[in-house]
Amino acid sequence: MVSAEIQQLFNKIDELKPQFIARLAEAVAIPSVSADAEHRPEVVRMGKWLEKELGELGCTDIQLKPLGIEEGLNIELPPIVLARYGADPKKKNVLIYGHYDVQPALKEDGWNSDPFTLVQKGDILYGRGATDDKGPVIDWLNILQAHNELKLELPVNITFCFEGMEESGSIGLDGLIKAEAEKYFKGVDAVCISDNYWLGDSHPVLTYGVRGVSYYTITIEGPAADLHSGLFGGVVHEPMIDLSHVFSKLVDPKGKILIPGISDMVAPLTAEEDARYDNIKFDVEGFEKNIGSKTVIHEEVKPALQARWRYPSLSIHGVEGAFYSSGAKTVIPAKVSGKFSIRTVPNIEPRKLDELVISYVDKVFSQLGSKNKCTCELLHDGDYWVSDPNNWSFRAARRATKDVWGVEPDLTREGGSIPITLTFQNALNTSVILLPVGRGDDGAHSTNEKIDISNYIEGAKTLGAYLHYMAEEEKDA
Ligand code: BES
Ligand code: ZN
């Protein structure tokens, strides 16, 4: 049984459903893709849209913090949006972080509808950002509206921190958090992030870990310009051939990383940690359905989850400068940049990893005997994070989740990365929790990204109840 107050909040959220969907539709209609320069004005527009909404919902001290120029692209970074809701010194302060940028999306990638128009089909809302991360971010705003309309006091103060570069490595945010730790963020008692998903499609979770990511390029260059393969094939060292050889030495088809020294840094699996995987509701078949093929490496639950959460992985993403269109162009690309990343876990040290990766790539390339030039560089990296899933913030979230979904949430880690998590924990000396709204099959980063209306609405209830229980829970020593 929930209190009359919380029940009233839940009823209000149900009543406001059409308005909440309309608010999400407005947000999805702004194509705030952080990855490329052409979309940057839209990312900025999205930040300003949030500024306006937060103001209308009664937030104060709203600031758009500039982050300067993005190196390489040479354009202004989108601002960090800061705001406060409530400033009662007697209340606890919860910092809420989310991101307002999205992954790129093109209709021709295989979307059934325009990615930047929120489309409802049955009980599901489709659109880029629906689950990652506009739906959850807007749920936080929805909660403010529900409280305002009920004239219900929120028992904690909120500090909002929304960024527009998460999908591109959170450039600039780290410095801002450190700089504001004793200023805008002074007195923060806990951080809550809703930017991840349930493990499957039916059971709620709370999340106490993410992997980090270190993203590298291998650039191989030879001829001054692209060449005709009829004239020069077999005559010159080809950058693309060299790159294929180097790529093949990074990871084997079963996912084993071939770069020596990395696995030595991985924290050993204790019996206690291993046991945490015993009762998690996850079935590999459902997972295969989700990815649309029977191509998983590990057929058993435990090794599959551990591969995703607590071991590093290496993925090869693409090649810049290579021929990629349809047809059969007989070209020798003059310069190619291969992109790959490593998801990192405790206790991999990022600088040591860079050293291992770069010296290994140099060595493998030198063994090819090619006269081309090869450079391997780190593009960006973000830390992994693992926390105690029993602290006061988790206790509040567990109560909220049980109220709304009627079951105990599973405790999960994530294979993906939210680079800023560890910075919040360390710079603000506070705990962080990941409290997801969406489901594992939402298709974040994929075509036809969606959020179920039930998750969007019940998610708002969960986040709202969480804030109320944060006021009640006793902070850990
Ligand atoms: N929402 C995701 C993080 C995430 C991914 C959580 C998968 C749970 C499961 C976030 O928006 C994201 O995609 N992050 C990037 C960060 C990278 C660009 C540094 C990622 O993980 O690739
Ligand atoms: Zn996200």
pLDDT in tens, 417-476: 998 999 999 999 999 999 999 999 999 999 999 999 999 999 999 999 999 999 999 998
Q: What is the mean pLDDT of residues 181-208?
A: 97
Per-residue pLDDT at 195 exceeds 90:
yes
The pick from 101, 167, 197 for probing ligand 1's pocket by mutation, whose C-beta has the most ligand atoms within 8 angstroms, reads: 167
The pLDDT value recorded for residue 193 is 98
* For the CA of 380, the nearest atom of ligand 1: 19
Ligand 1 pocket residue status of 163, Cβ below 6 Å:
no
The pLDDT value recorded for residue 201 is 92
| Confidence label for 13 from pLDDT (cuts 50, 70 and 90) | very high
| Number of other CB atoms surrounding residue 340 within 10 Å | 21
Per-residue pLDDT at 270 exceeds 90:
yes
Per-residue pLDDT at 72 exceeds 90:
no
Q: What is the mean pLDDT of residues 168-190?
A: 96
Instruction: List the residue whose alpha carbon is closest to atom 4 of ligand 1.
Output: 416
The pLDDT value recorded for residue 25 is 98
* Contact assessment for residue 136 and residue 195, using Cβ atoms and an 8 Å cutoff: yes
Ligand 1 pocket residue status of 132, Cβ below 6 Å:
yes
Nearest 5°: phi and psi at 384?
A: -80, 165
Ligand 1 pocket residue status of 341, Cβ below 6 Å:
no
Q: Does 405 or 477 have the greater pLDDT score? A: 405
Look at the pTM and tell me if it is higher than 0.85: yes
From the CA of 133, how far away is ligand 2's center (Å)?
Answer: 5
From the CA of 460, how far away is ligand 1's center (Å)?
Answer: 21
From the CA of 166, how far away is ligand 1's center (Å)?
Answer: 8
Whole-number Cα distances in Å, 358 to 215, 250, 363, 399: 12, 11, 9, 47
* CA separation for the pair 125, 81 (Å, rounded): 26
Nearest 5°: phi and psi at 73?
A: -75, -25
The pLDDT value recorded for residue 245 is 98
Ligand 1 pocket residue status of 213, Cβ below 6 Å:
yes
Q: Taking the mean position of all CA atoms in its chain, how far away is CA 260?
A: 28
Mean of the per-residue pLDDT values of the chain: 97
Q: What is the mean pLDDT of residues 382-411?
A: 97
| Confidence label for 208 from pLDDT (cuts 50, 70 and 90) | very high
From 158, 82, 187, 162, select the one nearest 466 (Cα to Cα). 158
Ligand 1 pocket residue status of 416, Cβ below 6 Å:
yes
pLDDT in tens, 298-312: 999 999 999 999 999
Ligand 1 pocket residue status of 196, Cβ below 6 Å:
yes
The pLDDT value recorded for residue 287 is 87
Per-residue pLDDT at 316 exceeds 90:
yes
* For the CA of 211, the nearest atom of ligand 1: 21
The pLDDT value recorded for residue 304 is 95
| Confidence label for 477 from pLDDT (cuts 50, 70 and 90) | confident
| Confidence label for 120 from pLDDT (cuts 50, 70 and 90) | very high
| Confidence label for 1 from pLDDT (cuts 50, 70 and 90) | confident
* Contact assessment for residue 86 and residue 33, using Cβ atoms and an 8 Å cutoff: no
Q: Taking the mean position of all CA atoms in its chain, how far away is CA 406?
A: 27
Q: What is the mean pLDDT of residues 67-96?
A: 96
Whole-number Cα distances in Å, 408 to 158, 204, 401, 451, 468: 26, 8, 7, 22, 18
pLDDT in tens, 338-368: 999 999 999 999 999 999 999 999 999 999 9
Q: Which amino acid is at 141?
A: L
Instruction: Please tell me whether the peptide bond between 347 and the residue prior to it is cis, using omega within 30 degrees of 0.
Output: yes
The pick from 290, 417, 445, 449 for probing ligand 1's pocket by mutation, whose C-beta has the most ligand atoms within 8 angstroms, reads: 417
| Confidence label for 290 from pLDDT (cuts 50, 70 and 90) | confident
Instruction: List the residue whose alpha carbon is closest to atom 9 of ligand 1.
Output: 416
Ligand approaching nearest to the C-alpha of 383: 1
Per-residue pLDDT at 286 exceeds 90:
no
